[in-house]
A = this chain, B = another copy of it.
């Protein structure tokens, strides 16, 4: 038996999440079906983590054991011809027998994208949360900073979480305004910059990416952080509220769970497997 790791990207819009479900319409079901179609084997995939319905992945890592003799370099092309267009195998690695996509992940990064231009970006509408009024991005950055480190994230976790402990470590968190993303080219002069300057003092337009890197994440954690930060950006909460909410250990103190389509599993880092250059 060989142990094979795949780096997989997917558009989660039309799926019920990563992990197998009875209906069969999940990323894992499609990958396992493609592997069966190719090798004749019913493998059990191990993913680096689950993603919810509607959530995407730039880089999900999965591994499985196979007795197939298909050479490593053939797997990506062979699987891609057997997968729907919204799931792509980026690369394939032969990995040590003991490699486990979830247990051996050192850390993971998620990205949540908020477009606060007046109109949605038509060509990225499946991958962003559209917030049609400007946000106080500096305030959001200040609020985000207090989440870095080891904390009990009960306030930022779905009450449906089944984990015995809600203590997790956020290694890095940043908010980046995408350069050149501020609308200007076709902004209507009537509702243009002058309007914003009067009505949204201290707030900015553009596409904002929230990156959160941690050793482990709880159910809906990044989406609740994003939903609460949006309220800070709207001025409904102060940056300092982010820390107060954290200290409360009470989900009801935080903001809403932001819509799934803004979220992507961005990167998974392993010690042994150099997936990035």
Contact = CB atoms under 8 A, between A and B. Distances in A.
Nearest to A94: B190
Chain A contact residues: helix, strand, loop or mixed: mixed
Interface in A178-217: 184-191
Interface string A242-277: 000000000000000000000000000000000111
Interface stretch (A6-14, A39-47, A102-110, A163-171): A6-14
A188 B76 contact: yes
A191 B73 contact: yes
A77 to B, nearest CB: 9
A39 to B, nearest CB: 18
Contact of A91 (B56, B90, B120, B187): B187
Contacts of A184: 277
A59 B122 CA distance: 11
Interface residues of A, number: 39
Contacts of A276: 185-186
A51 to B, nearest CB: 14
A96 to B, nearest CB: 16
Nearest to A57: B122
Given A184-B277, A185-B276, A191-B73, A119 B80 contact: yes
B90 A123 contact: no
A86 interface: yes
Nearest to A183: B90
Nearest to A192: B91
Contacts of A118: 76
A7 to B, nearest CB: 5
Interface of A: 7, 9-11, 56, 59, 72-73, 76, 80, 85-93, 118-120, 122-127, 184-191, 275-277
Given A7-B186, A73-B191, A186-B275, 13 more contacts: A10-B122, A56-B123, A76-B188, A76-B191, A85-B125, A86-B122, A86-B125, A88-B120, A91-B186, A91-B188, A93-B188, A123-B124, A185-B277
Closest 9 CB pairs of A and B: A91-B188, A90-B186, A73-B190, A9-B122, A91-B186, A7-B186, A88-B122, A88-B119, A185-B276
